[in-house]
Homo-oligomer: A and B are copies of this chain.
Amino acid sequence: MADDKRNAAGVAPPEWPDLSGRLEDFGHVLPIRVYYEDTDFSGLVYHASYIRWCERGRSDYVRLLGLQQKALFEDKSGKGSVFFVVRRMELDYLRPAMMDDVLEVITEVSEMGTASITLSQKVCRGELVLFKASVIIVLLNEQGRPQRLNEAIKRAFDPAV
């Protein structure tokens, strides 16, 4: 029965509460399982898999911040939608991840610019850092022009702003 799924507040709880990871004081953490698709014939994880995992971390961070809401991304002057793209990445491969590993993607804001955000990301197995990334993302409009970050975006990433 549908009623069975409602919690004390009368609201259906999410079926998979951890699917988008969790917001933490420092930023966001997302669990990752290593599957066949992530590995290569060396027996280790393929080097581009870390890039996909970091993108999942950023997507879920933005999701939990509520930034997927269309309203936030709408240009008040009616010039159309805006979206984030990666402009630059610096990647350090420190230790290999393996098939069946449970990993965590840790995402923090390291710098908030006028038109760009620099994110610091790590892929960890327990306490061990396997991979580090510094990722610069910029906000573009539909014509591909960089846009200033509006207050709603700044506030979402840093409640103290």
Interface residues of A (CB under 8 A from B): 15-20, 31, 33, 35-37, 39-44, 46-48, 51-52, 55-56, 59-60, 63, 68, 83, 85-93, 96, 98-100, 102, 144
Q: Is B41 in contact with A36, judged by CB distance below 8 angstroms?
A: yes
> How many angstroms between the C-alpha atoms of A9 and B63 in the bound complex?
35
> How many angstroms between the C-alpha atoms of A37 and B48 in the bound complex?
8
Q: Is A44 in contact with B41, judged by CB distance below 8 angstroms?
A: yes
List of B residues within 8 angstroms of A96 by Cβ:
85, 144
Q: Is B19 in contact with A31, judged by CB distance below 8 angstroms?
A: yes
23 examples of A-B residue contacts, CB within 8 angstroms: A15-B31, A16-B31, A18-B18, A19-B31, A36-B59, A37-B40, A37-B48, A39-B41, A40-B40, A40-B41, A41-B42, A41-B44, A41-B98, A41-B99, A42-B85, A43-B43, A47-B51, A47-B86, A68-B100, A85-B93, A88-B93, A89-B90, A90-B91
Chain A interface main SS type: mixed
List of B residues within 8 angstroms of A44 by Cβ:
41
Contact residue among B17, B43, B68 (Cβ-Cβ distance under 8 Å from A18): B17
Q: Is B92 in contact with A88, judged by CB distance below 8 angstroms?
A: yes
Q: Is B36 in contact with A39, judged by CB distance below 8 angstroms?
A: no
Q: Which residue of B lies closest to A43 (CB)?
A: B41
Q: Is A19 in contact with B18, judged by CB distance below 8 angstroms?
A: yes
Q: Is A36 in contact with B19, judged by CB distance below 8 angstroms?
A: no
Q: A52-B48, A55-B37 are in contact. Are A91 and B91 (CB under 8 A)?
A: yes
